[in-house]
Amino acid sequence: MYYIGILIRDLKKKPFCKLVENLKKFGSKLEHAEKHLVVVSNDDINIINCLFKLRELYPEIRFGVSQYIGIAKGLSRIANIGEILISADVEPAVIENFDLTSLGMLTIEGMKSEILVCRIDGLKGVETFPRQRKFPMILPRTLMLDAFRNFLSVTKSALIFAPEGTGKTTFLDLLIEEWKDEREILRAIAPAYLSNITLKTVSDIVAQLFKIQGNFNLEEKQKLITERLKAIGIRDIGTSYLAILDFLNLGEEDTILRKMEPRARIDLIINTICDVITHVSHLKTVVIIIEDIENLDPSSVNFIQNIISKLADEDVIFVFASNRAQVNVKGVKEFELQEIDRSQIEEYLYSQTGEKINIPATTIFNVSQYLELFFEEQADYFYTLYNGENPFVNFSLPFSDNKTIIKRRLELLDENKELLYSLAVLGYEIDPQDFPISENIQEQLDHFIEHNYLRKVNDKYIFTSPILHQFIYELVPDKHTRHSRLADYYRRREGYEEYALFHYLKAENYKRAMEYLLKSTKVAMKKGGYESAVSYYLQALELCRREKDVADLETLIAINEGLADVYRSLGDEEQAMKYYKVVLDSYKEILKE
């Protein structure tokens, strides 16, 4: 273990926390602090390369490195600005990779005798850094990973299920890290929040298939589709190109596909998507991952079900995750993710905090949030010591429930809290192209990522857990006002009617919600999501029953007629006649009057 004493004067809290966070990224642990000085530990000597980088950020910084904490502190105090001083016990570990200058025997504070001191002047060879913690605050599930690999030898469609907070997302992260070089990974989320957006989950998968990001312009997206179709050897590029354009709504004008009979159009789109995935799978195994699959919109369920069936004989693996064993997608085999043993969690907590903590029956999510708060409170405590103040007690943090922990974490965010509230109301998965937000907030977003509120996937920001998003959302003040503002924003954007609908419902503006339920049916049908259009019409009927003043008789007739038309388009004549009869009966009542 190597201790690094860091002497730097008069840092404000934000730069101090940034310094600590930069070191923590590379596996360093905060050990000690006193006036203008902080000590961290690291078991990888390559941490010295990080110290070179820190000199660029903090020009007046000084370092002392030793296997003894007292010597590390003393060395940092006698170092000149920018110097990295080491004791003799560190020299064997650095002599091959760094240029050293011997400063001879020097006296340092707290030592009765002189010690041999060297200065690190530069790097000799290749710059190497300690491994970054890619999956913070987790326990490796080696046995579970082995069991799941064996499970995939008997099925190509797996459902990982476990109670919320058990660590399904992290488990998938570990799998993806293992597969990413040898397999084509397509990953999407079906969050409970804003779950009504028609075919969004499938659209996300198709966009990944063609390496399309939301911030690309129309021409770039179209070019990527053409290049990908050619690269994988699709024969009928023309039809495939038009089908993908139609599905992703990237055409500049209506194509012949829009004039096709609904079922034929949907079949063509699904067949094209399957054809593309099949050709990709000939080059590399394709893995399609969908988290929280129980929240899929009705049309996505239909598409996914068809895709699974059509790709059954191809080199394609489907991995779904859910909080429950029974979901709305058929033909998948269930794999239960076991909870981590409590004694193992307590042992892990001790390795991270140095404290013996007896925890109640809890989830790994609760543990991860506790650790996040522990390190945030710890940084706050050490900053007090760094300022030369003496707290009355040593730092310690009792284990608490999720709500208490997350509420306290939000209090520590200070001015960043308001932005996080805004993001929580916007959604669980946030596309910068889809929301109104001020510029120059990148630093704040980076702060949320560093503190594991958000993670960035391609060009989107995603809350690290649906539970975290839910708890933050529950703490948001003035929800109705915020939802009303967002609804009014989205209603002015073409193609965002479903977003406006969601926020009008949350704002309890039911008259506007009724208007956008009917508009959303048209959006859904334009996307090919006829099942979702049915769902919207049924919601509209339910809203009419619940809120008597949201629709007149004419609107009610239009809803029933629209529902009948969709069922007829889908070939369900029985259901179509049921709702046509309601329309006919309504007209009879009008004529009687």
Whether 131 has a pLDDT exceeding 90, the answer reads no
Give the mean model confidence (pLDDT) for residues 375-396.
Answer: 86
pLDDT at 112: 75
Q: Give CA angle at 163 (157, 169), nearest 5°.
A: 60
Residue 254: the pLDDT is 66
Tell me which residue of 404, 330, 398 sits closest to 360, measured CA to CA.
398
3-state secondary structure 6-51: EECCCCCHHHHHHHHHHHHHCCCEEEEEECCEEEEEECCCCHHHHH
Q: Which of 109-123, 160-174, 426-440 has the highest mean pLDDT?
A: 160-174
Angle 291-371-148 from CA coordinates, rounded to 5°: 35
CA distance 108 to 112: 8
> What does the mean pLDDT of the chain come to?
88
Q: What distance lies between CA 407 and its chain's CA centroid?
A: 20
Q: Higher pLDDT residue, 260 or 121?
A: 121
pLDDT in tens, 402-441: 999 999 999 988 878 999 999 999 999 988 776 666 667 7
At 135, is the pLDDT very low, low, confident or very high (cuts 50, 70, 90)?
very low
Average pLDDT over residues 278-296: 95
Strands 62-66 and 84-87, by their bridges, are: parallel
Residue identified by tokens 């479903």 is 498
- From the list 419, 489, 436, 557, the residue with the least C-alpha distance to 502 is 489
pTM, to two decimals: 0.86
Which pLDDT value is given to residue 533? 93
User: What is the Cβ-side half-sphere exposure of residue 260, based on CA atoms within 13 angstroms?
Assistant: 16
pLDDT for residue 196 is more than 60: yes
Which has the closest alpha carbon to 461: 271, 191, 117, 281? 191
* Domains defined for the chain, CATH in brackets: 2-123 (3.30.70.1230), 142-336 (3.40.50), 363-473 (no CATH), 486-592 (1.25.40.10)
**Which range has the worst mean pLDDT, 142-156, 366-380, 389-403?**
389-403
d(CA 91, CA 398): 41
Label the pairing between strands 62-66 and 2-7. Answer: antiparallel
Reported as a pLDDT band with limits 50, 70 and 90, residue 260 is confident
Residue-wise pLDDT for 500-523, tens only, equals 999 999 999 999 999 999 999 999
pLDDT of residue 188: 94
What are the beta bridge partners of residue 42? Answer: 2
The distance of Cα 222 from the centroid of its chain, to the nearest Å, equals 27
The pLDDT assigned to 137 comes to 56
Residue with tokens 């690190």, as numbered in its chain: 120
Q: Are 276 and 308 in contact (CB under 8 A)?
A: no
Residue-wise pLDDT tens digits, 4-48: 999 999 898 888 988 888 888 888 888 899 999 999 998 888 888
Burial of 177 (0-12, 13-18, 19+ CB in 10 A): exposed
Rounded distance between C-alpha atoms, residue 153 and residue 47, angstroms: 41
Q: What is the pLDDT of residue 106?
A: 84
Question: What is the C-alpha to C-alpha distance for residues 40 and 50, in angstroms, rounded to an integer?
Answer: 13
For the stretch 295-347, pLDDT in tens is: 999 999 999 999 999 999 999 999 999 998 888 898 899 999 988 888 888 88
What are the backbone angles phi and psi of residue 181, rounded to the nearest 5°? -85, -25
List pLDDT tens digits, range 450-474. Answer: 888 999 887 889 999 999 999 999 9
